[in-house]
Structure 1
Amino acid sequence: MNSIDIAKIAGVSRSTVSRVINNYDNVPDETRKKIQQIIKENNYVPHASARMLAGVKNRVIGLFIIDMKTDTNGKQVTSSSYFTPFTGSVIENASKMGYNVLVSIVSKQKDYKKVKEIFYNKTVSGGIFIGEKNGEPEIKEIINSGCRVALLDQAVKSDEEVYNKCIIVNADNYYGAYKATNYLIGLGHSSIAHIVGISENLSGIERFNAYKNALTDAGIAVKSNLIVKGDFTINGGYNATKKLLQKEIPTAIFCGNDMMAIGAMQAIEEANLNVPEDISIVGFDDIEVARYINPTLTTVRMKLLEMASIATNTLITSIESNSNFSANYTLPIDLIERNSCKALK
């Protein structure tokens, strides 16, 4: 007999059985007593609970990559070179601390149900989320249930207690985007377009806001014709740039990430224009390929591997110490000047 059988007998979901087994308080008393009685009558010993009774610590953490966006070719964001090094760094750092990593991709909102079961069943002792929508309610529920969580790319809201119960690691997206836009302004550009990333993500929101504020602070009008929505993928950047060039040809484009910048460069070439002679390009992230494309890409370097290390090590430390540890980190960025930008005379 397993927890699925218990759930069928009780007429409840498997996750409800898991919550009772792991003594979470978000279960009605009547339901709790019913499930406990069924467990007792069937002499069921939950595997994870048996491990804990034996004094064996579950040395597994989860890495949950939230990827609900696809480009027009049906390709998801996780296919990009952004997530691969991050995943590798999490696994490497966890391994050094004697932990294994369960990697799971959330591609639909309903997949959060499975994520909750992984936590509630004690399959993992804690989890790292990357790519999530800013302020995602499903993740808040997991944190409020007492699970240990580290979040990447999440706004810290002082008026919400939930953000004092987890670990948050961010890059300084706002300053990086402001610096990138200001760099183009310093080169003499005033017709600067922006290809926006995923607008529900903190990184997309902050980079867009910084772009607008940098223009305003320099006395340059923010023009709606120069703002096009992308999706953090190469194809998204390509399509956004084609759409942009049909409306107006700017002298520079600040792209919300390097993947979209690569797509933008392809669209510019197909329009018989050149980078940087006709249009300067700045990206964000400094993925490995940025230094090898032609022309090499000016971009904002984000310390993604360090972010992975901090999230992993801090999470495991909180598990090992059995403490209600919370922390908030914001890592600095660097502007990397290469060959995709040109100063205007």
Structure 2
Amino acid sequence: MGATIRDIAEKTGVSITTISQILNGKGSRFSEATRNKVFQTAKDLAYKPNFFAKNMVTNRTNTIGMIVPEVTDPFFSQMVKGAEDYLNAHDYMILLCNSSQDSKREDLYVEELLHRAVDGLIIASPNILASNVFTQLEALHKPYILLDRKRHHREEGNIFIDDYEGGYMATEHLISLGHTNIGIITSDDSFYSVEERLQGYQASLKEHGILGSPAWIMEGDQTMSGGYIASKKLLETADITALFVTNDQMAAGAYRAALELGIAIPDDLSVIGFDDIELAEYMAPTLTTIRQPIYDIGKTAAKYLLKAIQNPNEKMANKKMPLDLIVRESTKKRIVNAE
């Protein structure tokens, strides 16, 4: 059993009330000698404050709820790490919930996290939460940060990238290499971010006078297997020389589909992904991709949320995170054979 305030009192001869006030940061009226004696004795006894008792004094739990669609997804696991590293450095813990892309479970998790008195929430999801959930958050004056969702819901507290810009950048890179028949592997439009990447792809084609074809577009689940199935269907039916895959996991599946069909990357098919998860650098050939700063997105969300907790009346800023084109070995200049 750990040391208690009573143990510190017996060692120091200081009253329990005085020790409690000093340890809870309210002991400025006591002498420096008394404060030092209490702190040193607490350290010597390896004293840890009772979590629930401290919560009653400070009205905080030093816990943050975080909801992600799929914790096993390398993208979200890296985002969680960014948030957790920052929060741990500031004496906060994360309660992590995996919604498995189920909007009902997501709503339930918000309610449960509020019931557990978290100090704030970080919500990463392609789904739009039920309006009553947001009503609860705002009624309780509970700060929250939104990741990976539409930005028209509210004017502040959003950490985001420009997915349209990313889709445009990816397509521009392929066009700059001389490709005009460019396919895209996307997802169903409930994933709004992927839909915006598709719109960026279409805008780039149009700007260059390239008449895109519906046959160049294929939907799949945002997984390796989803990328594999969608890419195989597309490559078997469409005459393309380049492929934009709207996330790196799906791009790994596209590699397998190309291999099975005897299509060499990048000699027969240039491939570009999106996200720059760690896997991209170790694929063969290494994957050209649009990098979003995944770790920093999580870290920034945690930083903004703690600031909102500490300054509840201060308006939260929005933050647009940068995108970068990372050119590796999976894309190359198209060589047109002379007739």
If the length of structure 1 is used for normalisation, what is the TM-score? 0.76
Shift of 1:260: 0.7
Q: Which residue of 1 aligns with 2:76?
A: 83
Superposed, 1:1-345 pairs within 5 Å as: 53-67=56-70, 78-107=71-100, 108-134=102-128, 137=131, 140-145=134-139, 146-157=141-152, 163-164=154-155, 166-323=156-313, 325-345=315-335
Offset of 1:309 from its aligned partner? 1.1
Contact 1:237 1:264 in 2 (8 A): yes
Corresponding residue of 1:38: none
- Tell me the SS of whatever aligns to 2:184: strand
Question: Computing the radius of gyration over CA atoms, which structure comes out larger, 1 or 2?
Answer: 2
CA distance in structure 1 between the aligned counterparts of 2:104 and 2:190, rounded to whole angstroms? 18
Structure 2 gaps, min length 5: 1-50
Deviates more, 1:130-139 or 1:140-149: 130-139
Q: Is 81-90 or 178-187 further displaced after alignment?
A: 81-90
Alpha-carbon distance between aligned partners in 1 of 2:253 and 2:127, rounded to the nearest angstrom = 24
Q: Flag the 1:324–1:132 CA change in 2: closer, same or farther, 3 A.
A: farther
The answer to whether the 8 A contact 2:111-2:133 is kept is no
Tell me the matched-pair count. Answer: 284
Q: Is the 8 A contact 1:66 1:129 kept in 2?
A: no
Paired residue type of 2:274: F
Question: 1:240 offset after TM fit, Å?
Answer: 0.3
Partners of 1:299 and 1:186 lie apart in 2 by 15
Contact 1:282 1:298 in 2 (8 A): yes
3-state SS of paired residue (2:222): coil
Q: Secondary structure at the match of 2:244?
A: strand
What is the CA deviation profile of residues 282-322 of structure 1, one whole-angstrom value per residue up to 9, with x for unaligned ones?
A: 00011111111110100011111111111001101111223
Q: Which amino acid aligns with 1:221?
A: L
The percent identity for this pair of structures is 31
Per-residue CA shift, 1:228-268, capped at 9, x if unaligned? Answer: 01222111100001111232131000000111111001100
Distance 1:333 1:139, change over 3 A: farther
The more displaced of 259-268 and 316-325 is 316-325
* 277-286 or 148-157, larger mean C-alpha shift: 148-157
Judged with a 3 Å threshold, the aligned counterparts in structure 2 of structure 1 residues 122 and 57 are, in CA distance, closer, same or farther, namely same
Q: 1:285·1:299 contact (CA, 8 Å) conserved in 2?
A: yes
Structure 1 vs Structure 2 CA RMSD: 2.2
> Distance in 2 between the 1:138 and 1:106 partners?
18
**What is the identity, as a one-letter code, of the residue corresponding to 1:91?**
E
Distance in 2 between the 1:328 and 1:251 partners?
39
| Alignment-mate amino acid for residue 120 of structure 1 | L
Q: Once the two structures are superposed, what CA deviation does each residue of 1:28-86 show, in whole Å capped at 9, x if it has no partner?
A: xxxxxxxxxxxxxxxxxxxx99865533421000110124xxxxxxxxxx422112211
Q: C-alpha separation between the residues in 2 aligned to 1:104 and 1:268?
A: 36
| Alpha-carbon distance change, 215 to 148 in structure 1, aligned in 2, over 3 angstroms | same
Instruction: Give the conservation status (yes or no) of the 8 Å contact 1:112–1:138.
Output: no
Cα distance in 1, alignment partners of residues 132 and 206 from structure 2: 36
Offset of 1:98 from its aligned partner? 1.3
